Amino acid sequence: MIYSDDLLAVAKRIFCFGTPEEALEFPKRFLTYAMTYASDEDIEILRKYFIDDDFKATLDDPAAGIFDRSSWAKWNERYKRTPVAPLPRRKIPGVDPATIHDFFPPKY
């Protein structure tokens, strides 16, 4: 697939462990990284290529282990998803999530 230069530049800035083209191969994973690490300027560029429904779909089923608490809260609040759902967690086969200690509990 052929991507625009500005989209590839954003992908290069926020996806550091592969090529921009590899980042864009999986749009949901890419948007999860973008929603966590992209600048406001980068998000404006991405809005030329992704619609609100794409960002909302990412919130519905995000790639686990990427969002941080502040980004998760920011994007859920942006789309009026309150109260904000718990941060997505990775699922480890055969491990009960209730037995895993939360090393980064929310600060109230």
Residues 49-97: tens digit of each pLDDT:
999 999 999 999 988 889 999 999 999 999 999 999 888 877 778 888 7
Name residues whose C-beta falls within 8 Å of residue 100's C-beta, 6 or more positions apart in sequence: 89, 92
Are residues 33 and 15 in contact, defined by beta-carbon separation less than 8 angstroms?
Answer: yes
H or E segment at 6? helix 5-14
Nearest to 63 by CA among 98, 88, 100, 96: 88
pLDDT of residue 107: 62
pTM of the model: 0.81
